[in-house]
Each structure stands twice: as structure tokens, then as C-alpha cells.
Amino acid sequence: MQTLDPALHAHLGQADTTLALCWRITRVDGVALGFTQHDCPLYLEGLWYQPAPGFDISKIERTASAAVDNLDVSGAFTNAALTEADLSMGRYNDAQLTIFRVNWADLSMGIQPIASGLIGRVSRRDDAFTAELRGLKHRLGYRATEDYTPDCRAKMGDKRCRVDLSRFTHRVSLTAQTDVATFTYSGETLADGYLDFGQLRYLGGQLVGQDAVILKHESGSLTLSEAPSVPLSFPIDVRVMAGCDRRLETCSSKFGNAVNYRGEPHIPGIDNLLYYPGLT
């Protein structure tokens, strides 16, 4: 049950109202953007909400628990703060979206919450986009427990892995593109394979701050898991981090971190379960 400011509650009951729909987007990198269907900017709780008349939301479906089951937000790229390039580069993936109404004539009345959730699938067509809002119910599909696996389940450098990433992080420059997702680089001399399954972060250009997975590292070149979403201008400074193939042997020999290995490499596999006497 929503608790509204008494003044806003009374205003909602009037025949004539001065209401405006607003939405706040908070990206995973901490950048916050505000938009409103009002024709003038609104300042609320430390953020300016810029006019975005082309934005629209679909019919909201709710369950008895008030969790949003289905909601799409659509609009045109009419605001300089929200660009097609940013959407293409994934900067709004899993961003927190909060939609609410305010009395634009008296913002001190507070807000009427409409919906909130994470931005999921984003589709684009011509100069417009449609973004899916995933509510709390979507998280019920997440795996809550872990399976036993021979490979390590920790993420490189997290609180379970505990590897000091600064020891395995280097700065180089991409110098040329030799294939769709393959680039030559210059800088530190790194052994072939050292960066396999590692991470690359762009430190300049249009992709600054974006990460990519390194699939293959050999002969002074890097092959990424996918091609960049925009054309690149070289040279580009990048930060690269050594990769881990999640095997115990690698954890021990490359990182000296076997004590923190989060896998079960010695558990019998499916072949042992199917084995029976006399089978060769």
C-alpha cells in the first residue's frame, strides 16, 4: 500500500490536476538521469528532470504483491543525454528505472510511485527505442544456489577469489584492427596466452569505461569476444587484466591462489557414475 503526502493525495482527488510523469534512470556506473513529460525542467531531490515529450510507457500489469509484471518504456532520441550510441554500448543494461508522478505546480507534495525495476532488453528502430522494465518477479528466475563444479565458481578478484588484481593489470595501447574483433597492441611485453579469458577496459575514445572479454592473446594481438559497437580511432589506451580459465592448475601456477579455489576438481564426473564392472 502506497503512503502519499496528504496534500498530494487530496490533489489526486481533484477534477483538475497539475500532474506530470517523471522517470529516473540510475546506470550501474552511478550516472543518474531524469526525464519528465512536463514541458519545463523540474528539480527534485537533487536532480534535474528534463522534458522528454516523446517518452511513453505501456499499460502496467500488477500482481497482488504490487510487483510489476510487464512494462515497456519507449521514446525517441530527442534528448542529448540519452543517445543511441550509449544504448548500443550497453551503458543502460541493468540500470535502475523509477517511474513516478508529481504535482509540477507544487513539488513539495512529494511523489506518487508508479513502478520501478531494472532495464532489461532494449530494441531500437530508426530514431526510437523500446526498453523492457523487469520487476522484482523477474529475480525469481535467478539461481539461488551453486552447483558442484570442477571449475572455479569465483569471479576473478572478488571477495572469494581474493587475488590482488593490481599485480595482474597492465596498460597497453591498441594500434590497429586486423579483423572484426582482433587488434594489435603495443606497450608491455606479455607472454602469449597471458590475457586469454581476461578483461579489457577502454580508457579513451567513444567506448571509454566499457569492458570487453579477451578470448585469445598471441603474437602481440588480442581477439575480443565481440566486435566494438562503434568504429575506433587508433591508438587507444586500454587496461588489460590477466585471464583465468577457472582450472585448479591455472589458479595454482599462474596466480598462486589454490588455497582460495572455489571448485571441486576431484569429484568424480559423469563417466564414473556410468561405470560398471567389466566396462573397458
> Percent of the chain scored above 90 by pLDDT?
52
What pLDDT is stored for residue 66 in this prediction?
Answer: 42
What does the pLDDT look like over 217-250, one tens digit per residue? 999 999 999 999 888 999 999 999 999 999 999 9
| CA contacts within 13 A on the Cβ side of 221 | 11
Confidence of residue 94 (pLDDT cuts 50, 70, 90): confident
Confidence of residue 198 (pLDDT cuts 50, 70, 90): very high
d(CA 122, CA 88): 9
Strand bridging mode 68-70 / 182-187: unpaired
Residue 45, judged by CB atoms within 10 A of its CB (0-12, 13-18, 19+), counts as exposed
d(CA 53, CA 76): 9
Of the ranges 11-25, 31-45, 123-137, which one carries the lowest mean pLDDT score?
123-137
What does the pLDDT look like over 156-174, one tens digit per residue? 999 999 999 999 999 999 9
User: Where do the domains of the chain lie, and which CATH numbers do they carry?
Assistant: 6-139 (2.40.10), 165-254 (2.40.10)
Prediction pTM value: 0.60
Amino acid at 74: S
What pLDDT is stored for residue 230 in this prediction?
Answer: 87
What pLDDT is stored for residue 23 in this prediction?
Answer: 87
